[in-house]
Homo-oligomer: A and B are copies of this chain.
Amino acid sequence: MKILVLGGDGYLGWPTTLHLSAAGHRVAVADNFARRGYDNELGVESLVPIEPLQSRIAVWRELTGEEITCYVGDLTDALFAHRIIDEFRPDAVVHYAEQRAAPYSMIDRAHAVYTQQNNVIGNLNLLFAIAETNPDIHLVKLGTLGAYGTPNIDIEEGWLEVEHKGRRDKVPFPMRPGSFYHLSKVHDSHNIEFACRVWNLRATDLNQGVVYGAQTAETARDERLATRFDYDAVFGTVLNRFVIQAVIGHPLTVYGAGGQTRGMIDIRDTVRCVQLACENPADRGEFRVFNQITEWMSVREMAEAVAAAFPGDVRIENLDNPRVELADHYYNVTHTKLIELGLEPHLLSDTLIESLFEVTKRYAHRVRPEALLPRVNWRRPANGA
């Protein structure tokens, strides 16, 4: 198949690109390098050094003979969105090209507005480009499990059968997201569901949990193929952050008592899930939702798993939770659809955590420790106007 990966330079976009190329697909990437720009803004860098996108692509060509087409531009530019669909003529578009950090969206008004504008408008431009160019293209959109919030009922895969006053319907699963970022994904999902309904598009929304891990089979082939590995409190995902704190001898910073639970997935499963979604497209007119996780743990349990695996002393410290979320809650997430398509999950193991210690030790000198502590507070609206 021909697959266009939007946001193909990012933590997950790049390994996905390689994985799809290795699986025999003809792949193109597009990126505006916003993610590298956030590093400049926040004064941090990926723990693992990364090559420029063009160099990465050259290394992959050198190793495999496979060509990856590269587009540089921004989806909020409608002409760019239209041009890449029209030129590359993909069978599937994998859409990672959104601002993806909850804390970043909560910095202040400008960051909240940027996040929703960038994500919602980019996605709208993409929907129009697909609908007008070729409505048969399958949109594989990265969403977030955090869109659901923490309801007191089981979280189903995007749709809920309800009975109310003796009548029945299947309705979009109700959403109570936890940040302006998570809200942007909820807005996207509503827009996509509508586009499937009125234009007969086909789409898969991947409501993904927190991703952990540093490598896939493909990125491990050459250090110049490494993907980014974020440790800071804004972009670092929680388990990766705990690993780094353990290695540099800092306490693992658990927000609140750590009873809040997160759905999780290994980066190797992420790239496999996206492959499965592409190779098994949604029907025309179908808005399909997969919960892209393989297990869940409370934040405290993650810290304990990292501490137990670490060969040395680790202290766990409880900080005031900067987020507004339930300290303790029911959590049960249905996630069978990707398994049915063939996903064989890598569950979190000591081996995996130990492999992360190795990666981290090698680059520990690059850590700026103050960047590990949360500076963004959910309760304090910063207008900046």
Chain B residue numbers with a CB within 8 Å of A172 are 174-176
**Does B78 contact A385, Cβ atoms closer than 8 Å?**
yes
Chain B residue numbers with a CB within 8 Å of A79 are 385
Contact for A379 among B175, B177, B199, CB less than 8 A: B199
A194 within 8 A of B: yes
**Does B160 contact A177, Cβ atoms closer than 8 Å?**
no
Q: A177-B190, A324-B198 are in contact. Are A153 and B165 (CB under 8 A)?
A: yes
Q: Min CB distance, A205 to chain B, in Å? A: 15
**Does B199 contact A177, Cβ atoms closer than 8 Å?**
no
A169 within 8 A of B: yes
Query: Which residues of chain A from 229 to 287 have a CB within 8 Å of any chain B CB?
Result: none
Give the number of chain A interface residues (Cβ < 8 Å).
63
Chain B residue numbers with a CB within 8 Å of A151 are 169, 171
A193 within 8 A of B: yes
Q: Min CB distance, A319 to chain B, in Å? A: 18
A113 within 8 A of B: yes
A351 within 8 A of B: no
Q: Mark A177-190, 1 if CB is under 8 A from B, else 0.
A: 11110010011001
Q: Mark A115-130, 1 if CB is under 8 A from B, else 0.
A: 0110011001101110
Q: A113-B124, A383-B132 are in contact. Are A167 and B152 (CB under 8 A)?
A: yes
Query: Which residues of chain A from 297 to 328 have a CB within 8 Å of any chain B CB?
Result: 324
A212 within 8 A of B: no
Contact for A385 among B82, B173, B175, B381, CB less than 8 A: B82
Chain B residue numbers with a CB within 8 Å of A337 are none
Q: Min CB distance, A289 to chain B, in Å? A: 13
A44 within 8 A of B: no
A336 within 8 A of B: no
Chain B residue numbers with a CB within 8 Å of A381 are 127-128, 131-132, 199
A191 within 8 A of B: yes
Q: Min CB distance, A190 to chain B, in Å? A: 5
A137 within 8 A of B: no
A382 within 8 A of B: yes
Chain B residue numbers with a CB within 8 Å of A379 are 198-199
A362 within 8 A of B: no
A162 within 8 A of B: yes
Q: Min CB distance, A305 to chain B, in Å? A: 28
Contact for A174 among B129, B160, B383, CB less than 8 A: B160
Chain B residue numbers with a CB within 8 Å of A164 are 153-154, 156, 160-162
**Smallest Cβ-Cβ distance to A81: which chain B residue:** B385
A378 within 8 A of B: yes
Task: Give complex CA distance A110, B125 in Å.
Answer: 9
Q: Mark A190-208, 1 if CB is under 8 A from B, else 0.
A: 1101100111000000000
**Does A190 contact B198, Cβ atoms closer than 8 Å?**
no
Chain B residue numbers with a CB within 8 Å of A176 are 171-172, 193-194, 197
Task: Give complex CA distance A187, B154 in Å.
Answer: 24
**Does A174 contact B174, Cβ atoms closer than 8 Å?**
yes
Task: Give complex CA distance A151, B194 in Å.
Answer: 14
A53 within 8 A of B: no
**Does A109 contact B121, Cβ atoms closer than 8 Å?**
no
**Does A129 contact B190, Cβ atoms closer than 8 Å?**
no
Q: Which residues of A contact B (CB under 8 A)?
A: 78-79, 81-83, 109-110, 112-113, 116-117, 120-121, 124-125, 127-129, 131-132, 151-154, 156, 160-165, 167-169, 171-180, 183, 186-187, 190-191, 193-194, 197-199, 324, 330, 378-379, 381-385
